[in-house]
Amino acid sequence: MFNKTYLLPGEALKYLLSSITDKDITIERLRIEECYNRIIANDITAPEDLPQFSRSTVDGYALNSRDTFGAKENSPAYITVKNEIFMGIAPDFKLNALEAAKIPTGGMLPEGADAVLMLEHVQMISEDMIEIMRSVSPNENVIQKGEDIKKGETILTKGRKLMAQDIGALAGLGITEIDVFKKPIVSIISTGDEIVPASSPLKLGQVRDINSFTLAGLISEHGGIPVKKGIFKDDYDTIKNAIKEAIHDSDMVLISGGTSAGTKDMTAQIINDIAGIYGSAGVLFHGVSLKPGKPTIGGIIKNKPVLGLPGHPAATVVCFDIFIRPVIEKLSGLNSERKFIKSIIAKMAKNIASAAGREDHIRVYLEERDGEILAIPVLGKSGLITTLVKADGIVIIPQNKLGLDAGERVIVRLF
Ligand SMILES: Nc1nc2c(c(=O)[nH]1)N[C@H]1C(S)=C(S)[C@@H](COP(=O)(O)OP(=O)(O)OC[C@H]3O[C@@H](n4cnc5c(N)ncnc54)[C@H](O)[C@@H]3O)O[C@H]1N2
Ligand code: MOO
């Protein structure tokens, strides 16, 4: 397989995504405090106005702005202070012309008032008379009834990933439970005769399982439920059974290792063999024009995405970013309009070469020097986990570029 022309990562991803037919994603009803970063399953319409009454944004005097028009230092207006408003209590009086009421920040405006004059702009003439030397316009220092949200307005749309402030808005409207899409369950299968659990002492030649931990963290961060299925020997039947079981009890399956050209690299063959049992598509691509991550496998079994990930830890993370995150998002019901990647523009600190026709994902760390953000490449093989530990993000060199020049502005996709 390794002398062919491969799909570019973007093309391979499109192929994979288009091969997953949309099925109804199941819904669960949760209390809003459990909904941070969850994907909302229905449009939410405001059942009431927010706020429900016009309220002051300052400490001062509620009055009718008309009574202040033309007020200046050399021709002040005089207004009678009729009453005082207290927090949380609706005023039971009405203001007439040339009347005001003392009001705290957040207090409810009485009928007859349309503005609030700040305390600092008022002179007390007597216990119940204020002198005003400037005018206020209608609605000045006031949040009007329904100004934040109008009753009947759609405030959140289906497929949105809920931010903390979205949950705050729901609370403000008294909505304490909502429907969200269930998180997809993503199984992780680690393969390799040399791989042992992180808790194991090592015999020479053995390697502790790094990838299932990295993947589990990334899956959780991006809205999936990781299920670590364990470490499986490079044995056809063992891995086949592990994948079959994972297909049965999860929405997506990741297999770490066994993607390249060695005699024990049988992931693609096993995916095709299981797919054959169910009449599924099997392997859609094996190999992409990508570094690191060239031997990546993308496939479908029983309408479930199955990814074979190169064993090298940095390749695993790059593959997650390119293939797994978008698939988890699709399986989560995330609306495509809100798929933003956190990124920053930085200046490349060094020249970096790349081969034509291949997309390179360069690990970089960021440093601020002389008011500029520099992206400094973390050099090292994709088998080194510390190349990721030291990095703050990834810079992509597209297939049509032969590298990046020092000083060039680049987008860094932040971890
Ligand atoms: N003849 C060729 N050999 C290789 C090619 C190639 O094109 N031709 N591609 C190389 C590239 S690029 C990569 S990436 C790796 C992919 O390897 P596999 O997916 O087959 O994975 P393994 O051979 O099982 O392991 C590779 C390496 O990674 C370590 N590993 C595996 N799993 C884990 C884990 N869960 N935690 C930590 N480390 C892991 C493993 O011990 C190996 O050292 O193939 C190249 N070879
Ligand atoms: O995908 Mo490999 O990581 O280029 O070493």
Mean pLDDT score of the chain, rounded to an integer? Answer: 95
The length of the chain, given as a count of residues: 415
Whether 9-26+183-338 shares its CATH topology with 55-143 is answered: no
Closest ligand by atom to 267 CA: 1
- Ligand 2 centre to CA of 259 (Å) is 10
Q: How far apart are the first and last CA of the chain?
A: 32
Q: Tens digit of pLDDT for each residue in 192-223?
A: 999 999 999 999 999 999 999 999 999 999 99
The CATH number of 343-414 is which of 3.40.630.10, 1.10.760.10, 3.50.50.60, 2.40.340.10? 2.40.340.10
- Please name which of 371, 367, 354, 373 lies closest in space to residue 411, comparing C-alpha atoms: 373
How, if at all, do strands 115-118 and 129-132 pair? unpaired
Q: Say what the pLDDT of residue 1 is.
A: 52
Residue 260: pLDDT over 80: yes
Tokens of 161: 């990933």
For the CA of 310, the closest atom of ligand 2 is 1
Cβ proximity of 366 and 376 under 8 Å: yes
DSSP output for 170-218? HHHTT--EEEEEPPPEEEEEEE-TTEE-TTSPPPTT-EE--HHHHHHHH
Residues 116-155 have pLDDT tens digits of 999 999 999 999 999 999 999 999 999 999 999 999 999 9
- Ligand 2 atom nearest to 294, measured from its CA: 1
Q: Is the pTM of this model over 0.80?
A: yes
Structure tokens at 103: 């009001």
pLDDT in tens, 42-86: 999 999 999 999 999 999 999 999 999 999 999 999 999 999 999
CATH C-level class of 55-143:
mainly beta
How far is the C-alpha of 59 from the C-alpha of 117, rounded, in Å?
A: 8
Residue ranges per structural domain of the chain: 9-26+183-338, 29-49+157-181, 55-143, 343-414
Ligand 1 pocket test, candidate residues 199, 255, 259, 260, most atoms within 8 A of CB = 260
The token pair at 135 is: 């005018």
Separation of CA 52 and ligand 1 centre (Å): 61
Residue 4 has pLDDT above 80, yes or no: no
Instruction: Determine the CATH number of domain 29-49+157-181.
Output: 3.90.105.10
Beta strands in 57-176 (DSSP E): 60-63, 77-84, 99-103, 115-118, 122-126, 129-132, 142-143, 154-156
> pLDDT > 90: what percent of the chain?
93
Q: Cα of 256 to ligand 1 centre, how many Å?
A: 9
Residue type, 244: K
**Contact 382 CB / ligand 2 (< 6 Å):** yes
Is the pLDDT at 278 greater than 90? The verdict is yes
Complex ipTM:
0.97
Strand partners, 317: none
CA angle, 408 as apex, 404 and 413 as ends, to 5°?
A: 80
Q: Which pLDDT score, from 0 to 100, does residue 336 have?
A: 66
237-246 — which CB contacts under 8 Å span 24+ positions? 239/189, 239/191, 239/266, 239/267, 239/270, 240/270, 240/273, 240/274, 242/189, 243/189, 243/270, 243/271, 243/274, 243/301, 243/306, 244/274, 246/187, 246/189
Amino acid letter, residue 410:
V
H-helix segments, 265-413: 267-278, 313-319, 325-332, 386-389
CATH number of this structure's domain 9-26+183-338, picked from the four choices 3.40.980.10, 3.90.550.10, 3.40.50.300, 3.30.1360.170: 3.40.980.10
Cβ 122 under 6 angstroms from ligand 2:
no
- Per-residue pLDDT of 281-326, as tens digits, reads 999 999 999 999 999 999 999 999 999 999 999 999 999 999 999 9
